[in-house]
């Protein structure tokens, strides 16, 4: 097959490469649009550590107090190790988090484990993350990432947001769209319970 490919017309080969590479980019975009359109809406608090510097650069790092740090003791299915400093969980391992709605607009973590939950209660949502570092015994909390830790903000919008956040104890939240398979996309920002920014689909 490798030998035969050079006998194909050149234009066909160029078109195939163009199609494949564009297909990858197109798939990335289509996947996000589908997720934003059809995913379940979830609102999670974020903690602006220093609002004045929130939009330094072109993105802001988002820290979700409910799900970004999970104590290993709160993880179900963590394998026991004999050695005191041995690895129980490698960096990048999948973490399955179940989110539950509350009386207010914000969601909370109901459960976190290393295996997919057998059942997800109605109204709850599954979110899949990855261990941010290897887990050893006696570790107070495990950082978990979900691919939603960066919010890229246009400069003008960032400045406006910065002004609204500066010097106040605003309750900032991120609106997510979560697919049934546990992947999440940022759909917007919320400030003091009010929708501030909505991400366009396209």
- Give residue for tokens 């194909």: 8
Task: Please state the closest distance from residue 33 (CB atom) to another protein, in A.
Answer: 9
Q: Which is nearer to another protein, 25 or 122 (CB)?
A: 25
Distance CA 64, CA 146 (A): 10
Site string for another protein, 113-152 (x = CB under 8 A): -----------------x---x----------x-xxxxxx
Burial of 79 (0-12, 13-18, 19+ CB in 10 A): exposed
Nearest to 94 by CA among 166, 183, 200, 4: 183
Q: Is 200 in the site for another protein (CB under 8 A)?
A: yes
Residues 167-186 contacting another protein, CB under 8 A: 185-186
Task: Please state the closest distance from residue 143 (CB atom) to another protein, in A.
Answer: 13
Task: Please state the closest distance from residue 123 (CB atom) to another protein, in A.
Answer: 25
Distance CA 131, CA 143 (A): 6
- Among 118, 155, 169, 181, which residue interacts with another protein (rule: CB under 8 A)? 155
Q: Is 6 in the site for another protein (CB under 8 A)?
A: yes
Task: Please state the closest distance from residue 114 (CB atom) to another protein, in A.
Answer: 15
Residues engaged in binding another protein (CB under 8 A): 2-3, 5-6, 8, 10-11, 13-14, 16-18, 20-22, 24-25, 28-29, 32, 58-59, 85, 87, 90-92, 130, 134, 145, 147-152, 154-157, 185-186, 199-200, 202
């Amino acid at each position: 097959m490798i030998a035969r490919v050079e006998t194909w017309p050149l234009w066909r080969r160029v078109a195939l490469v163009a199609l494949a590479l564009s297909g990858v980019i197109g798939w990335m975009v289509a996947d996000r649009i589908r997720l934003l359109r059809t995913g379940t809406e979830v609102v999670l608090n974020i903690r602006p550590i220093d609002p004045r510097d929130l939009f330094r650069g072109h993105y802001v790092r988002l820290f979700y107090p409910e799900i970004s740090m999970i104590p290993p003791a709160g993880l179900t299915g963590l394998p026991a190790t004999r050695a005191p400093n041995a690895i129980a969980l490698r960096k990048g391992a999948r973490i399955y988090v179940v989110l539950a709605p509350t009386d207010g607009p914000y969601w909370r973590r109901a459960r976190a484990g290393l295996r997919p939950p057998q059942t997800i209660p109605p109204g709850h949502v599954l979110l899949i993350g990855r261990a941010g570092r290897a887990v050893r015994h006696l570790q107070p909390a495990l950082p978990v990432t979900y691919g939603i830790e960066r919010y890229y903000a246009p400069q003008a919008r960032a400045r406006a947001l910065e002004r609204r956040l500066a010097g106040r104890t605003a309750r900032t939240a991120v609106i997510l769209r979560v697919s049934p398979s546990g992947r999440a996309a940022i759909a917007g920002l919320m400030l003091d319970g009010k929708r501030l920014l909505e991400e366009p689909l396209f």
